[in-house]
Structure 1
Amino acid sequence: MKVVCYGEVLIDFLNVKGNLFEANPGGAPANVAAAVAKFGGKSYLISQVGNDIFGKMIIDSLSACGVDISNVKMTDEYFTTLAFVKLDSRGERSFSFSRKYGADVYLKVEDIDINIVKSADIFHFGSLSMTYEQNKRTTLELLKIARQSGSTISYDPNYRSSLWESQKKALDTMIEPVENGFVDILKMSEEEVLLYEKDVNDFYNRIKDKVKIFLVTLGEKGSMVFFKGKSYFVDTIKVDVVDTTGCGDCFVGMVLHEISKSLPIENLSEDEIVNIVKKANIAGALCATKKGAIPAIPEYNQVLERL
């Protein structure tokens, strides 16, 4: 089964000590693609990097994970997008971005092999591919193609305040694909859900007729899954947290890898979806025990050992 991920790919500069930053490949859709591949699935990434040392670093890293990067374009016009990540004492992150002229923003539909989109069993994207009008147009066009082709569509809206002109613009844009019927699997953090409603259940009632699976990550507490009109709390394992960068993407990667084995979604039982989320919780937790996003993705058998 093909899991095709579309959106930003960048370099995360993680603040490791004082004024010292360590460069690691990242970007939510790229992290998901890397996780799917590392867990044994077949993943593709659609994105764009600059023809620079960071772009080449990203290409090499994704290739080493087994991601098909034939649709990651390299351009001389723009520089690879950069993100600077600072951790607090709990391993939680704050971000600064160099993205206004980042290569991923300027990828056009005509630069993409549309057959990859049409052949996707699962098409995954995030909200950062809608922060500017030019990449929003590309995103919406690809969503239309994926929907018409019968792909299962997965969406992980990440709220990064510094990338939007206002919170209202961000929230209106982030919910748009859901309200327009483009999303089957929706994953959000509890913090992102609470930007919309005071309670997770209230938000689910708002979108329950639009999505088939709704996942809410709760950090060290675990996660919730809403499926076939019911909700389930799924706990997780305790780990020593080093860096939470990419944990949510690792969670999504495991969910998509496992669901891809049992499509269509309607074939899944409630027990199966809860077991998938248990694996995803463990994958995300293990990812937090190392620095970086892609370098911290655990092996599939490591997840099974902790199940």
Structure 2
Amino acid sequence: MKVVCYGEVLIDFLNVKDNLFEANPGGAPANVAAAVAKFGGESCLISQVGNDMFGQMIIDSLSACGVDISNVKITDEYFTTLAFVKLDSHGERSFSFSRKHGADVYLRVEDIDMNIVKSADIFHFGSLSMTYEQNKRTTFELLKIARQSGSTISYDPNYRSSLWESQRKALDTMIEPIENGFIDILKMSEEEVLLYDNDANSFYNRIKDKVKIFLVTFGEKGSMVFFKGKSYFVDTIKVDVVDTTGCGDCFVGMVLYEISKSLPIENLSEDEIVKIVRKANIAGALCATKKGAIPAIPEYSWVLERL
């Protein structure tokens, strides 16, 4: 079963010491595609990089993970998007982006092979593909095609304040795909939920008729899953945290990989979804024990050992 991811792909420059930064391939949809492939699934990425050394680094890294990169366009017009990541003493991140003229923003509908979108068993995207009007239009066009083709649609609205003109604009835009009925699987962090409501339960009551699975991550505490009108809190393992950059994406990658083996979603039992989320928690925790996003994705066998 194929998982098709669409959206930003970039280089994360991780602050490893004083003013020293280390380059690692990243971008949430790319991280998810890499995780699905590394765990043993079939994944494809739709995005765009610049014809530069960083674009080639991304292509090489995704290919090494087994991601189908035939729909990652290389352009001479724009430079590969860059992100600079600084970690605090707990491994938590703050971001600065070089993206106003980043290649991923300017991927056009006419440059995308729509047969790939139509072939998706699961179509996954994030909110950073809607930060500018041109990529927002492309995103909604792809969502319409994925929905018409019967794809299960997954959404992770990562909130990065520096990429939006205002928080109000971000919140209004991020919720549009949900309110328009496009989303089957929704994953948010606790911090993102609190931008909208008092807690996860309250927000779920607002969207429960719009989504089939709602996932909320709480970092080292674990995560919640809302499914078929019920909620479950799923704990996680304790690890020595080095870098949390790709943890949420690794979590999503595991969820989509496991669900892709049991589609449609309605076939899943409550016990099965809890087991899937437990695996995803472990995958995200193990990802935090190494630097970078894609380089830190654990082997599937490691997750099973900790399970």
Tell me, yes or no, whether TM beats 0.5: yes
What is the distance in 2 between the residues matched to 1:141 and 1:5? 14
What is the distance in 2 between the residues matched to 1:102 and 1:199? 35
What is the distance in 2 between the residues matched to 1:244 and 1:266? 32
Q: CA deviation at 1:171?
A: 0.2
Match of 2:88? 88
Match of 2:78? 78
Q: CA deviation at 1:82?
A: 0.1
Residues 254-297 of structure 1: CA deviation (Å, up to 9, x unaligned): 00000000000000000000000000000000000000000000
Match of 2:255? 255
TM-score (norm 2): 1.00
Q: CA deviation at 1:122?
A: 0.1
What is the distance in 1 between the residues matched to 2:136 and 2:234? 34
Residues 204-253 of structure 1: CA deviation (Å, up to 9, x unaligned): 00000000000000000000000000000000000000000010000000
What is the distance in 2 between the residues matched to 1:100 and 1:48? 14
What is the distance in 2 between the residues matched to 1:26 and 1:282? 20
What is the distance in 1 between the residues matched to 2:195 and 2:305? 36
Residues 12-69 of structure 1: CA deviation (Å, up to 9, x unaligned): 0000000000000000000000000000000000000000000000000000000000
Match of 1:298? 298
Structure 2 residue 59 is the aligned partner of structure 1 residue 59: yes
Q: Secondary structure at the match of 2:69?
A: strand
Residues 146-165 of structure 1: CA deviation (Å, up to 9, x unaligned): 00000000000000000000
Residues 115-174 of structure 1: CA deviation (Å, up to 9, x unaligned): 000000000000000000000000000000000000000000000000000000000000
Q: Secondary structure at the match of 1:183?
A: coil
Match of 1:174? 174
What is the distance in 1 between the residues matched to 2:266 and 2:273? 11
Q: Secondary structure at the match of 2:303?
A: helix
| Aligned-pair identity (%) | 92
Q: CA deviation at 1:199?
A: 1.5
Aligned-residue Cα RMSD (Å) equals 0.2
What is the distance in 2 between the residues matched to 1:27 and 1:240? 24
Match of 1:281? 281
* Residues 1-307 of structure 1: pairs in structure 2 closer than 5 A: 1-307=1-307
Q: Secondary structure at the match of 1:182?
A: coil
Q: Secondary structure at the match of 2:70?
A: strand
- For structure 2, the residue ranges without an aligned partner over 5 or more in a row are none
Residues 87-112 of structure 1: CA deviation (Å, up to 9, x unaligned): 00000000000000000000011000
Q: CA deviation at 1:200?
A: 1.1
Q: Secondary structure at the match of 2:71?
A: strand
Which runs of structure 1 show a deviation greater than 3 angstroms over 4 or more consecutive aligned residues? none
Q: Secondary structure at the match of 1:225?
A: strand
Residues 165-194 of structure 1: CA deviation (Å, up to 9, x unaligned): 000000000000000000000000000000
Q: Secondary structure at the match of 2:74?
A: strand
What is the distance in 2 between the residues matched to 1:110 and 1:71? 12
Q: Secondary structure at the match of 2:23?
A: strand
TM-score (norm 1): 1.00
